[in-house]
DNA sequence: GCCATCTGTGCAATCGATTGTCCTAAATTT
DNA sequence: AAATTTAGGACAATCGATTGCACAGATGGC
C-alpha cells in the first residue's frame, strides 16, 4: 500500500494462497489449477493490478528502456529521427531516454555514464561534433549493452549501424553543380573528425577531379555546426579574388542564411552563385529561389536504428549495417540550364 | 557478478564484514569505525563500485527520472524547451524520459500510462491539440506524482504551471498591425480546446474591438497545427471579396509558406498584406521580407518548468504559477509606417 | 495393497540496496 | 571491582517480483 498500488502479495493474502501461486497464475505458463488461476485473474483485474516495474527491473536486470544519445534536439534531423525511434520502441514496449551532447565530447561521455547508471537495455548514438575517439563506448560494450550508431557513426567499433551514402550524394550533388556549368564550387565542410564530414568532402573532391576541376584550399570552409559564423564565412567566400560560382552548404538553414547574405551583396542566385543545401527541410520550397537540397529520411534512419537495436537486445548478436539512401532534390537555387 | 558489476555484498565478503556495515560506511552518516570505513571506501574506489540504481529504485520507490510529455519534437518550440528541461534535470541528477503525443489524445493518454509504469518521479506536460479533458492526468495526481504543465497548460487542474501571456501578446501584435494602418486583419487560430489558442484569439478580438474594427467570421481560420493545409487557407483568404490587409499566422513556418503563396499570387508584403508570425525562429531574419514575429523563450519555459517540477518532487507541495513573458519582434513583414 | 507418478501449491532464495534492532566487548562511572 | 554506558557491527526484514525445490495428496500400475 506504500505507493498506493496493490501487489502480488496483497492478492495472495486476500485469496489465502501463496504469492508464488499468484505469480504463476498471472504468468500463465505454469501448472496452476484452473479454478485458482481464474480467481487470481479475476481479482487482479478487479483491483486493477499492474506488476511493479521497479521490482521486475531489479529481478530481471533490465528496464525495457533504450537510451538515445544525440547532439541536439533542435537539430531538425535528430528531432525527426527521434520520432522514428519512439514509434518503433513504443510498439515494442520500450521507453526512450534521451540525452543531448550539445556537440560536446565531455557531455557525451557524461551522458553515457547516466544511461549506464539508468541500466538502459541498449543505446542509440549519433556522435558529437567533437568526438574523435571511442573508448567511452567500449565501457558499454564490455557490459554487453548493445549500441547502434546512426547517421554520425563510429567506424572503429564493430556495432550495428545505420548510415547514409554521404560520399555518393556529395559526389552527385557536386556533379549536378558542374552539369549546370559551375566551375568554381566551394563547400562548407563539417568537422573532419566526423566520418560523414570526411566522406562528404571526399565525394566533393572526387567529383571535381573527375571533371578536371582544381580542388582549391580556399574553396573549402570548415564549420562546426554552430550558428553565428555563417555570415562571416559567406562574406569571405564572395570576396575571394576568384569568386565561387556555387556553394555546397552544410545544411539548409545555413544555406538560407547564405542566400540572404549573398543577395544583400547584390549577387543573384543561381546566376552569380548557385546554392546547394542539405536535409531538404520543408522550407526549401518556400524560400526564393527555392533551395536545391539533399533528402535524408531522418525518420526512417531513426526507426531502422531502433529496429536494429531491439534485434541486438533480443540476443541477435550479429551486428548489421544498414544503408539509407539519400536523394538529390533539384530546385531553382541550382537551376541554370535545361 | 551477474551483470559484471560489483555489489555491496562483494565488498563485504572481501573484507569479511557484513553488508550493512559496508552500506553505512559508504553512506557516511552512521557510526562506523574510522579504520573500517577507510578500508571500505578504499576498496570501493579500487573496484570502481557504483550502487545499483535498480535496487535503489525498488527500495526507495523512486527513479530519479522525470517524464516529459509533449506534442512533437519536430516542433521547434518543444525541441528548444527540451534543452532547458534537460539542463536543469541533469544538473539535479535526474534523467529525462520523453514521450510524444503526436497531437493525439489517445497517444497522450497511452504515453501517460507508460510514464506511470516506468515510475517517473514527476511529469512535465504540454497537452496535445486534441486534448479537451483532464481525467487522464488525475490518475497521476491520485498517486501523488507531481505534474507541471508548460505552454499548453490545463487550467482545470491545480498544479504548477509555466505559461505565456498569449492574450496580451496577441493583443499587442494585433494593435501593432492596426498601428501600421491595417484595417482588415485575419488570424489563423489554433484548436479552441487549447487554453493558449482561445486566449490568443481573445486578445486579437479585443484589440480589434478596442479600435472599433469589426470582428469578421471569415477572417478567422481554424488550424490544427498540421502542415499541408496552409496553401489552401491562404488562397481562401486572399480570394475573399474583402481581401485582408494583414494576417496573424499560427507560427513562423506557416507564415513563411503563406508569404510564398501570397507572392506567387502577385501580391506584395507588407504593402498588400502584412504578415505576423509566431515563435521568432532564427530564419525570420533571413526570409524576404524579414518576418515580424513573437519571441517565446522556449528554453526558459523548459528550464523553469523543470525547476518547478523538481520543487514539487522534493516535497514543496504548493503549486506555483510562473508567467514567462513573450515579446513582439518587429521586422519588415509588418513595416508600413514610420 | 504397495510403490511410483503426477498435480498443485507453498517455502525460501534471489535481485542489491537500506535500516531498525540487538548483541558483544570495551570504556567509563561510582 | 561491579555496574552502566557506548561504540561498532551483525542479523534480518523490506521493497515486489520470479523460480527451483520440496512436499502433500490423488491417481494409477502391477
* Residue B36 included in any domain: yes
- Regions of chain B with pLDDT less than 70: 1-3, 226-227
Of A63, A74, A286, the CB nearest to B76: A74
Q: What does the pLDDT read at residue A224? A: 78
- The per-residue pLDDT for range A32-43, each reduced to its tens digit, is 888 999 999 999
Distance CA A228, CA B287 (A): 17
Pair B286, B193 in one domain: yes
* Residue B267 included in any domain: yes
Of B3, B96, B253, the CB nearest to A283: B253
The angle that helices A252-264 and A230-238 make with each other, rounded to 10 degrees, is: 50
Q: Total domain count for chain B?
A: 3
Q: Is residue A337's pLDDT more than 90? A: no
- The integer distance in angstroms from the CA atom of B61 to the C1' atom of C15 is 16
CB A244 within 8 A of CB A215: no
* Residue A57 included in any domain: no
* Residue B2 included in any domain: no
- The per-residue pLDDT for range A52-96, each reduced to its tens digit, is 999 999 999 999 999 999 999 999 999 999 999 999 999 999 999
* Residue B125 included in any domain: yes
Cell 505469480 locates to A23
Q: What is the CATH number of the domain that holds B253?
A: 3.40.50.2300
Pair A235, A90 in one domain: no
Which residues, numbered 190 to 249 in chain B, qualify as contacts with chain A under a Cβ-Cβ cut-off of 8 Å? 227
Q: Which of residues 290-319 of B touch strand C (CB under 7 A)?
A: none
Cα B99–chain centre separation: 12
In this complex, how many residue pairs, one in chain A and one in chain B, have their CB atoms less than 8 Å apart?
Answer: 131
The C-alpha of A127 sits at a distance from chain B's nearest C-alpha, in angstroms, of: 17
User: What are residue B100's phi and psi, to 5 degrees?
Assistant: -115, 135
Pair B184, B288 in one domain: yes
* Residue B198 included in any domain: yes
Q: How much is the average pLDDT of A234-257?
A: 97
* Residue B3 included in any domain: no
- The per-residue pLDDT for range A107-158, each reduced to its tens digit, is 999 999 999 999 999 999 999 999 999 999 999 999 999 999 999 999 999 9
Q: How much is the average pLDDT of A218-242?
A: 90
Pair A156, A302 in one domain: yes
Pair A89, A183 in one domain: no
Pair A67, A92 in one domain: yes
Pair B18, B100 in one domain: no
Pair B40, B125 in one domain: no
Pair A22, A119 in one domain: no
- Closest nucleotide (C1' vs CA) to B59 is D15
**How many Cβ atoms are within 10 Å of A320's Cβ, its own excluded?**
15
Instruction: State whether A119 and B54 contact (CB < 8 Å).
Output: yes
Q: Is A68 helix (H, G, I), strand (E, B) or coil?
A: strand
Distance CA B209, CA B215 (A): 7
More confident of the two residues B224 and A289? A289
Disruptive mutation site among B48, B58, B290 for chain A (greatest number of A CBs within 10 Å): B58
Pair B117, B216 in one domain: no
- The per-residue pLDDT for range A215-228, each reduced to its tens digit, is 999 999 998 776 67
* Residue B1 included in any domain: no
Q: What is the CATH number of the domain that holds B13?
A: 1.10.260
Residues of chain A found within 8 Å of residue B4, distances taken between Cβ atoms: 142-144
Which one, of A327, A309, A311, A317, lies nearest residue A161 by Cα? Answer: A309
Helix then strand count (H, E) for chain A reads 12, 12
Domain span holding position A215: 166-296+329-334
Pair A276, A181 in one domain: yes
Pair A192, A288 in one domain: yes
Amino acid at each position: 500500500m506504500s505507493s498506493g498500488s496493490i501487489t502480488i502479495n496483497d492478492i495472495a493474502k486476500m485469496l489465502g494462497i501463496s504469492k508464488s501461486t499468484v505469480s504463476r497464475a498471472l504468468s500463465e505458463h505454469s501448472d496452476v489449477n484452473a479454478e485458482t488461476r481464474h480467481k487470481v485473474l479475476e481479482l487482479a483485474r478487479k483491483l486493477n493490478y499492474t506488476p511493479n516495474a521497479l521490482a521486475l527491473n531489479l529481478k530481471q536486470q533490465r528496464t525495457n528502456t533504450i537510451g538515445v544519445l544525440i547532439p541536439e534536439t533542435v537539430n531538425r534531423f535528430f528531432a525527426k529521427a527521434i520520432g522514428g525511434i519512439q514509434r518503433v520502441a513504443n510498439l515494442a514496449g520500450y521507453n526512450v531516454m534521451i540525452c543531448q551532447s550539445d556537440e560536446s565530447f565531455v557531455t557525451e561521455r557524461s551522458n553515457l555514464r547516466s544511461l549506464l547508471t539508468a541500466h538502459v537495455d541498449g543505446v542509440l548514438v549519433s556522435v558529437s561534433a567533437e568526438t574523435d575517439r571511442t573508448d567511452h563506448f567500449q565501457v558499454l560494450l564490455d557490459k554487453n549493452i548493445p549500441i547502434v550508431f546512426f547517421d554520425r557513426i563510429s567506424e572503429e567499433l564493430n556495432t550495428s549501424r545505420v548510415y547514409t551514402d554521404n560520399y555518393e550524394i556529395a559526389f552527385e550533388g557536386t556533379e549536378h553543380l558542374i552539369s549546370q556549368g559551375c566551375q568554381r564550387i566551394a563547400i562548407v565542410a563539417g568537422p573532419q573528425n566526423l566520418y560523414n564530414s570526411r566522406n562528404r568532402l571526399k565525394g566533393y573532391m572526387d567529383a571535381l577531379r573527375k571533371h578536371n576541376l582544381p580542388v582549391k584550399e580556399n574553396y573549402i570552409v570548415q564549420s562546426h555546426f554552430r550558428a553565428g559564423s555563417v555570415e562571416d564565412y559567406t562574406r569571405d567566400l564572395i570576396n575571394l579574388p576568384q569568386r565561387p560560382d556555387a556553394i555546397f552548404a552544410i545544411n539548409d538553414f545555413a544555406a538560407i542564411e547564405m542566400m540572404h547574405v549573398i543577395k544583400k551583396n547584390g549577387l543573384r542566385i543561381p546566376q552569380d552563385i548557385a546554392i546547394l543545401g542539405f536535409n531538404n527541410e520543408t522550407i526549401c520550397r518556400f524560400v526564393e529561389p527555392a533551395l536545391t537540397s539533399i533528402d535524408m529520411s531522418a525518420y526512417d534512419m531513426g526507426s531502422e536504428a531502433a529496429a536494429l537495436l531491439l534485434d541486438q537486445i533480443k540476443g541477435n548478436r550479429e551486428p548489421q549495417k544498414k544503408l539509407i539512401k539519400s536523394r538529390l532534390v533539384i530546385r531553382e537555387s541550382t537551376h541554370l540550364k535545361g
